[in-house]
């Protein structure tokens, strides 16, 4: 039996697009000699559909699309994910399900049992968990079909009290197939390989796994579909960050033509780079946008975002706006211009001195001679926000936010100033990782000027300002932030590792008191196991840890 895995990039709620893509790949798989082609979890509607699932019409369109797809399954069968109605009144109204379609008809329905409700996942909000399990019979073989999380309850600290495979294995299956929408983080591919290998080893069955690829607002899917033998050895690994269809010949309990291989070796930074490029590209394509605008300061953050945007959208579609203040150094302006020259994007120079002076003059009577402080710094940042938003409104550009994760964490940014934008490109990338990204971008030649990388970071909103005036050294700050945000360690646990107590408590207080700012920032492309946004939900007025 020849089984094709179709690793595709779907668009949430775009039924015409998704349906045609699925049909095209059914034809392609058939041309390649496949007997069965497998698509990803909720492929018909895209993942995650979120509250679209609350619309009856949306569910009806999923079913209509599935029936259209079925008409093309002649001489080839398919497995495709979609939401289906729960006909029992008690419980949630929907199942996260998959259709097995053969000879133009839905022959079997598999329903997801283990519904993740952590981090970016919110499936129990919408779906009822399955309680009955049945293998699919096809061409004299039994297939144990599961959906994503159904194979993830295999570690030493299980989240669920049962495993679908423990029931399916009693029916004597010949093969496991798992369809998934498994989001990217820079460490998740390693975890995924281990978990799936453990399933193949535990149940003594070969396993074919298909994942989605592409970005849906802040969530990126990296693909990397996999094949394992019945001993849990990795046999094949499909492409990462791009679409691919591949056919596997399965004879008995053997996937033929492959020998054992090791999981690909790729650095975290290279993965983050590819994920951010894909995230930018899909945000624009799926939203119907073409051109981006960003403020270019001459610093490393905006330089990295500009380089990523040019890779994703083409340099001709990126507008960099230089907005020097009266405190901006000549070298910062030159660094920004050098980047523009290296990268070939459009640019404008719009100084903010006149606007900032006007605000100072306008506010002078109300401020009653009080000294210059953070207020005037923020006015300058908001002047810049007005300018880039004006460029966005006038020319239809979409504003890219350039704040990094370290800044987002401690609130080192100005609401309605440098924190504005439609999508946060590096808001899940710590400052120390931004430097690594810059060096990666420069690996084949200078794109980001060396001076942007080596000079001390500064907002340049007052004379001689440096980030280190307000923040601890980034090498220390990022390590403490990682312990608190990604590893969820308390202040006492972090202090016990040898960090200065006063510093730890100061940093954690900064993170917690900045929560109200993060509620008002753009969606942030997720590349880490714990990103700000839908995957990290903290109360604004909570006292604990403050």
Q: What is the pLDDT of residue 330?
A: 77
What pLDDT shows up at residue 462? 72
Angle subtended at Cα 142 by Cα 191 and Cα 44, rounded to the nearest 5 degrees: 60
Provide the percentage of residues in the chain whose pLDDT is more than 90. 92
Does the annotation flag 301 for ligand binding?
Answer: yes
Contact 97, 55 (CB under 8 A): no
Annotated binding-site residue? 407: yes
Distances (CA, A) of 256 to 50, 204, 260, 351, 442: 39, 16, 11, 65, 41
- pTM for the model stands at 0.95
Annotated binding residue at 517?
A: yes
Q: Is-catalytic flag, 148?
A: yes
Q: Contact at 8 Å (CB) between 355 and 386?
A: yes
Q: Look over the chain and give the mean of its residue pLDDT values, rounded to a whole number.
A: 96
Selected catalytic residue, list 135, 148, 345, 383: 148
pLDDT-derived band at 529 (thresholds 50, 70, 90) equals very high
Q: Is 369 annotated as a binding residue?
A: no
Question: pLDDT tens across 152-192, in order?
Answer: 999 777 899 889 999 999 999 999 999 999 999 999 999 99
- Chain-centroid distance of CA 274 in Å reads 11
pLDDT-derived band at 66 (thresholds 50, 70, 90) equals: very high
State the pairing for strand pair 346-349/318-322.
parallel
**298 annotated to bind ligand:** yes
Phi, psi at 346, each rounded to 5°? -75, 155
Residue 198 token pair = 């453990």
Q: Is 182 annotated as a binding residue?
A: yes
Is 118 annotated to bind a ligand? Reply is yes
Annotated active-site residue in 21, 30, 111, 112: 112
Distance CA 40, CA 57 (A): 22
299 is in an annotated binding site: yes
The answer to whether 378 is a known ligand-binding residue is yes
112 is an active site residue: yes
pLDDT at residue 286 above 90?
yes
Instruction: Flag the least confident range among 73-77, 227-231, 470-474, 504-508.
Output: 470-474
* pLDDT tens-digit readout, 401-424: 999 999 999 999 999 999 999 999
> How confident is the model over 438-471, as pLDDT tens digits?
999 999 999 999 999 998 887 677 777 777 777 8
What's the pLDDT at 469? Answer: 78
Give how far Cα 314 sits from Cα of 47, 217, 292, 319, Å.
27, 20, 10, 11
Q: Which of 30, 41, 291, 420 is catalytic?
A: 41
Contacts of 445 (CB under 8 A, 6+ apart): none
Beta pairing partners, 250: 255
Q: Measured between alpha carbons, how far is 310 from 536 in angstroms, rounded to an integer?
A: 30
Please tell me the distance from the alpha carbon of residue 302 to that of residue 230, in angstroms, as a whole number: 48
Cα distances from 110 to residues 4, 71, 78, 171, 516, in angstroms, run: 19, 20, 13, 15, 42
Q: Is the pLDDT of residue 251 over 80?
A: yes
DSSP state of 399: E
Whole-number pLDDT of residue 546: 59
Question: Could you tell me the pLDDT band of residue 327, with boundaries at 50, 70 and 90?
Answer: confident
Once rounded to an integer, what is the mean pLDDT over residues 330-337?
A: 90
Average of per-residue pLDDT across 37-48: 98
pLDDT digits (tens, 9 = 90+) for 210-245: 999 999 999 999 999 999 999 999 999 999 999 999
The pLDDT-based confidence of 285 (bands split at 50, 70, 90) is very high
* 295 marked among binding-site residues: yes
Instruction: Judge whether residue 142 has pLDDT over 80.
Output: yes
Average pLDDT of 192-203? 97
Ordered domains of the chain (ranges, CATH): 2-260 (3.60.110.10), 270-467 (3.40.50.620)
User: What beta strand segments (E) does 130-225 contain?
Assistant: 136-138, 141-147, 175-179, 207-210, 213-216, 219-222
Cα(474)–Cα(496) distance, rounded to whole angstroms?
Answer: 20
CA distances from 15 to 19, 44, 63, 98, 242 (A): 6, 7, 10, 16, 21
């Amino acid at each position: 039996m020849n089984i094709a895995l179709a690793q595709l990039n779907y668009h949430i709620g775009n039924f015409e697009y998704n349906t045609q893509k699925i049909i095209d790949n059914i034809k392609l798989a058939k041309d390649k000699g496949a007997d069965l082609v497998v698509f990803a979890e909720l492929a018909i509607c895209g993942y995650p559909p979120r509250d679209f699932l609350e619309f009856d019409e949306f569910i009806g369109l999923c079913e209509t699309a599935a029936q259209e797809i079925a008409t093309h399954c002649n001489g080839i069968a398919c497995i495709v994910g979609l939401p289906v109605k729960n006909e029992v009144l008690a419980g949630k109204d929907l199942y996260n399900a998959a259709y097995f379609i053969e000879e133009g008809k839905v022959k079997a329905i598999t329903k997801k049992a283990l519904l993740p409700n952590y981090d970016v996942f919110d499936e129990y909000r919408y779906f009822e968990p399955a309680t009955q399990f049945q293998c699919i019979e096809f061409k004299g073989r039994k297939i144990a079909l599961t959906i994503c999380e159904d194979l993830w309850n295999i570690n030493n600290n299980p989240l669920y009290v049962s495993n679908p495979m423990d029931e399916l294995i009693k029916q004597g299956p010949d093969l496991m197939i798992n369809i998934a929408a498994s989001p990217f983080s820079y460490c998740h591919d390693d975890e995924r390989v281990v978990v799936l290998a453990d399933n193949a080893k535990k149940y003594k069955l070969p396993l074919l796994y298909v994942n989605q690829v592409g970005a849906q607002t802040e969530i990126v899917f990296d693909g990397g579909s996999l094949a394992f033998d019945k001993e849990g050895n990795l046999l094949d690994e499909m492409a990462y960050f791009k679409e691919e269809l591949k056919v596997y010949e399965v004879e008995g309990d053997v996937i033929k033509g492959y020998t054992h291989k090791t999981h690909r070796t790729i650095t975290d930074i290279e993965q983050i780079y590819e994920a951010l490029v894909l995230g930018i590209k899909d945000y624009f394509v799926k939203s119907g946008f073409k051109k981006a605008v960003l403020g270019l300061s001459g610093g490393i953050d905006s330089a990295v975002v500009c380089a990523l945007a040019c890779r994703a959208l083409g340099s001709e579609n990126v507008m960099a706006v230089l907005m020097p203040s009266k405190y901006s150094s000549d070298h910062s302006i030159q660094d920004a211009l050098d980047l523009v020259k290296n990268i070939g994007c459009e640019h404008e120079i719009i100084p903010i001195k006149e606007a900032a002076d006007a605000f100072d003059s306008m506010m002078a009577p109300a401020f009653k001679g009080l000294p210059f402080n953070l207020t005037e710094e923020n006015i300058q940042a908001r002047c810049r926000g007005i300018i880039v938003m004006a460029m966005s409104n006038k020319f239809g550009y979409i504003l890219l936010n350039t704040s990094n994760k370290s800044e987002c964490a401690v609130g080192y940014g100005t609401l309605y100033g440098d924190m504005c934008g439609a999508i946060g490109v590096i808001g899940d990338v710590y400052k120390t990782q931004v430097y690594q990204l810059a060096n990666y971008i420069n690996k084949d030649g200078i794109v980001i000027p060396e001076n942007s990388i080596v000079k001390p970071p500064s907002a340049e909103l007052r004379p001689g300002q440096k980030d280190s005036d307000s923040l601890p050294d980034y090498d220390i700050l990022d390590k403490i932030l990682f312990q608190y945000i990604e590893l969820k360690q308390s202040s006492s646990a972090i202090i016990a590792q040898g960090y200065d107590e006063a510093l730890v408590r100061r940093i954690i207080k900064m993170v917690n008191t900045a929560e109200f700012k993060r509620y008002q920032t753009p969606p942030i492309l997720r590349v880490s196991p714990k990103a700000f946004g839908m995957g990290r939900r903290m109360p604004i007025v909570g006292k604990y840890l403050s």
